[in-house]
């Protein structure tokens, strides 16, 4: 049997989310919004079985990602044999998937931890309350934003999409997105997601408005019952403390009983790594590159 890969489409998001709900560990890469949003940039596609969804990346190189479904009930040696997967490179493999594969395929695996892909996890109570010396600078910048700007917080919705797209255009001009392929790709993904806001299940967010203009926004979704996933967080360079304000206010306005916020990976970028560490993560979701031979 051979896997038949096809483009990732928004029409199958409900079916995909059903498979994703069965995964014993959920990392940011595998949310439908991330898969669909980044599909064109990475050439992502999927293949469907009765009990698994297989994922493949085709740009800039060909890799498999972790299959989605009930990992713990699959006979993996038999499945790889039946699908004629005799060798291949799998990336972004969550740690629980690695441990399951090691139990049945240990002699065929080469495993390399890829720390640049690890998800950063934070206690929401820490980022809302900002207590103690370790958060002193963040809290000070939040207070400056609150003191100097006449702002309103607005829950993200259809009425904020166009305003956020306008702010994103300004942000890209300031950061000179055209000179960076990574920023250009992210900008295309943000535009794709925002323009399809009403079609994407679970999408949420918040925005800060000053003088009828959005000056900061966050786009997020629930990843599990107690974990919120932040996809994008942007703030205008003209408003000091904008990033600290939207971070704190979005989480403080979240109405469900989330305890953990997942702020995705640092992608090996030193500046991004320092920024993520400055908020003092309480844990990580490790991922690995796995060679099957």
Distances, alpha carbon 172 to alpha carbons 116, 141, 167, 232, in Å = 24, 23, 9, 14
pLDDT at 117: 98
Q: Which of 36-45, 143-152, 157-166, 186-195 has the lowest mean pLDDT?
A: 157-166
CATH topology of domain 119-264: Aminopeptidase (3.40.630)
Average pLDDT over residues 50-70: 97
Average pLDDT over residues 200-219: 96
**pLDDT digit string (tens) for 167-188?**
999 999 999 999 999 999 999 9
> Is the predicted pLDDT of residue 196 greater than 80, yes or no?
yes
Which residue spans within the chain are E strands per DSSP? 6-7, 45-48, 52-57, 63-64, 68-69, 88-94, 109-113, 119-123, 151-155, 204-210, 213-222, 227-235, 260-262, 283-285, 287-292
pLDDT at 144: 97
pLDDT at 157: 84
Q: What span, in angstroms and rounded, lies between the C-alpha atoms of 117 and 269?
A: 11
Average pLDDT over residues 37-45: 98
Average pLDDT over residues 23-51: 98
In the structure, what pLDDT confidence band is assigned to residue 107 with cuts at 50, 70 and 90? confident
pLDDT at 193: 97
**pLDDT digit string (tens) for 255-285?**
778 999 999 999 999 999 999 999 999 999 9
CATH topology of domain 6-118: Aminopeptidase (3.40.630)
Which residue spans within 12-136 are E strands per DSSP? 45-48, 52-57, 63-64, 68-69, 88-94, 109-113, 119-123
Residues above pLDDT 70, as percent of the chain:
100
Q: Sketch the domain layout of the chain as residue ranges.
A: 6-118, 119-264
- Give me the chain's average pLDDT, please: 95
**pLDDT digit string (tens) for 124-145?**
999 999 999 999 999 999 999 9
pLDDT at 257: 86
> Is the predicted pLDDT of residue 293 greater than 90, yes or no?
no
pLDDT at 199: 96
Average pLDDT over residues 230-240: 96
Residue with token string 């109570």: 125
* Tokens describing residue 200: 């994407």
Q: Which of 30-39, 85-94, 218-227 has the lowest mean pLDDT?
A: 85-94
Query: Does this chain's domain 6-118 share its CATH topology with 119-264?
Result: yes
Average pLDDT over residues 15-34: 98
Average pLDDT over residues 68-92: 93
């Amino acid at each position: 049997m051979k896997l038949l890969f096809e483009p990732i489409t928004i029409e199958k998001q409900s079916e995909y989310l059903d498979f994703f709900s069965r995964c014993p560990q959920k990392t940011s890469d595998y949310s439908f919004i991330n898969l669909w949003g980044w599909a064109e940039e990475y050439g992502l596609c999927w293949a469907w079985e009765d009990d698994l969804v297989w994922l493949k990346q085709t740009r800039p190189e060909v890799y498999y990602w972790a299959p989605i479904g009930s990992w713990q009930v699959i006979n993996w040696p038999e499945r790889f044999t039946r699908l004629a997967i005799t060798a291949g490179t799998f990336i972004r493999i969550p740690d629980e998937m690695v441990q399951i594969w090691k139990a049945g395929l240990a002699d065929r695996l080469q495993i390399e931890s890829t720390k640049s892909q690890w998800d950063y996890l934070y206690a929401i109570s820490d980022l809302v309350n900002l207590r103690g010396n370790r958060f002193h600078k963040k809290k000070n910048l939040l207070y400056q934003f609150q003191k100097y700007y006449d702002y309103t917080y607005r829950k993200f919705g259809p009425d904020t999409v166009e305003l956020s797209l306008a702010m994103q255009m300004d942000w890209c001009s300031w950061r000179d997105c055209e000179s960076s392929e990574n920023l250009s790709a992210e900008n295309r993904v943000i535009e794709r997601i925002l323009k399809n806001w009403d079609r994407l299940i679970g999408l949420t967010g918040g925005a800060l408005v000053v003088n009828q203009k959005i000056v900061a926004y966050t786009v997020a979704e629930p990843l599990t019952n107690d974990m919120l996933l932040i996809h994008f967080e942007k703030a205008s360079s003209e408003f000091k403390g904008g990033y600290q304000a939207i971070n704190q206010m979005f989480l403080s306005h979240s109405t469900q009983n989330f305890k953990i916020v997942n702020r995705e990976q640092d992608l090996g970028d030193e500046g991004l790594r320092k920024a993520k560490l400055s908020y003092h993560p309480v844990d990580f979701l490790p991922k690995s590159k796995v060679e099957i031979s």
